[in-house]
C-alpha cells in the first residue's frame, strides 16, 4: 500500500467527500433529494476549481491522498493530521497504528527522491505502534515481527532502521527455515534518534534520550535522559537538566 505527499487542500477534498455522502431526510421527495445533491456537488466543485487555479500542484496532491485513504486496509489505523512527506509503504499482515500529528519525510532532509518510508508489521500477530507527534526524516524503515513501539514526540533522523527480530535462525542448518528470535523494541517519549542509527531486537530507550548518528543499539535497557552512542551503543553522558527541571 502506497501513500504520497499531502498538502493544504485536504479540508476542501474532505468537504467534497462528506457532502457527497451526507444522508438526506427521509421525508424529502426523490426530486428534492436530487436537487440538493446537485447543488452540493456544484458548490463543492466550484470551491475545488477556485483552489485548483490558486495552487494546481497542491490541489492535485491533496486529491490523490484523499482518494487513496479509503483503500488503506483496516489493519492500518492512521491518526489525524498525518503528513506523509515522502512515499510511504505499509507492508505485512499485522497491525499498524499511527497517532495524531505525525510526519514522515522531509523534502529538504536529504535523500528525499531516492528513498521511502516503510512500516512493516510482518506477521498476523505483529504490532507496530507509533504515538502522537512523531516526526521522521527520509528513509525510515521499521520492521515488527512481534512488537515495536515508538512513543510520543520522538524525532527520527535520516535512514534509520528499527527491527525487533533477527529475521533468520542462528543455527546454520535452520538459517533459511526459521524466523529467528524476536524481542520487543520500545522507544520512549521525546527521544531524538540521529541519522543512520540501527536499533535491534530487545532495545528499550528511556524518555528524552538521544542516540548519536551511526549508532548500533543492541538489546539493552537504556535509561532516560541519556546520550547514547557507538557500536555497540552505550551511555556516554547524562542529560543534566532534563525536561521538567529548571535551574535554580
- Catalytic residue set: 168
Q: Is 234 exposed, middle or buried (0-12, 13-18, 19+ CB in 10 A)?
A: middle
Residue 124 bridge partners (DSSP)? none
Work out the number of other CB atoms within 10 angstroms of the CB of residue 38. Answer: 10
Instruction: Give the three-class secondary structure for 125.
Output: coil
Q: Which residue has the cell 521511502?
A: 116
What Cα–Cα distance (Å) separates residue 116 from each residue in 60, 141, 174? Answer: 20, 8, 32
Give 232's Cβ-side CA count (13 Å radius).
9
Buried b (16+ CB within 10 A) or exposed e, 155-189: bbbbbbbbbbbbbeeeeeeeeeeeeebbbbbbbbb
Interatomic CA distance for residues 244 and 248, integer angstroms: 13
Amino acid at each position: 500500500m502506497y501513500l504520497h505527499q499531502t498538502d493544504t487542500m485536504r479540508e476542501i477534498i474532505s468537504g467534497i467527500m462528506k457532502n457527497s455522502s451526507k444522508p438526506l431526510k427521509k421525508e424529502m421527495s426523490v426530486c428534492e433529494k436530487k436537487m440538493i445533491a446537485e447543488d452540493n456537488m456544484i458548490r463543492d466543485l466550484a470551491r475545488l476549481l477556485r483552489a485548483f487555479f490558486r495552487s494546481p500542484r497542491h490541489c492535485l496532491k491533496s486529491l490523490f491522498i484523499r482518494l487513496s485513504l479509503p483503500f488503506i486496509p483496516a489493519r492500518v489505523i492512521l491518526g489525524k493530521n498525518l503528513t506523509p512527506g515522502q512515499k510511504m509503504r505499509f507492508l505485512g499482515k499485522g497491525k499498524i497504528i499511527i497517532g495524531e500529528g505525525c510526519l514522515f519525510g522531509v523534502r529538504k532532509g536529504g535523500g528525499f527522491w531516492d528513498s521511502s518510508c516503510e512500516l512493516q508489521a510482518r506477521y498476523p500477530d505483529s504490532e507496530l505502534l507509533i504515538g502522537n507527534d512523531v516526526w521522521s526524516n527520509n528513509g525510515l524503515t521499521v520492521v515488527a515481527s512481534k512488537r515495536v513501539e515508538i512513543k510520543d514526540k520522538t524525532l527520527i533522523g535520516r535512514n534509520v532502521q528499527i527491527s525487533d527480530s533477527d529475521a533468520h535462525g542462528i543455527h546454520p542448518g535452520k538459517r533459511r527455515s526459521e524466523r529467528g528470535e524476536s524481542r520487543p523494541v520500545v522507544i520512549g517519549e521525546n527521544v531524538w534518534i540521529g541519522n543512520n542509527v540501527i536499533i535491534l531486537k530487545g532495545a528499550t530507550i528511556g524518555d528524552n534520550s538521544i542516540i548519536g548518528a551511526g549508532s548500533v543499539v543492541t538489546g539493552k535497557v537504556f535509561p532516560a535522559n541519556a546520550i547514547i552512542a557507538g557500536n555497540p551503543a552505550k551511555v556516554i553522558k547524562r542529560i543534566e537538566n532534563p525536561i521538567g527541571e529548571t535551574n535554580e
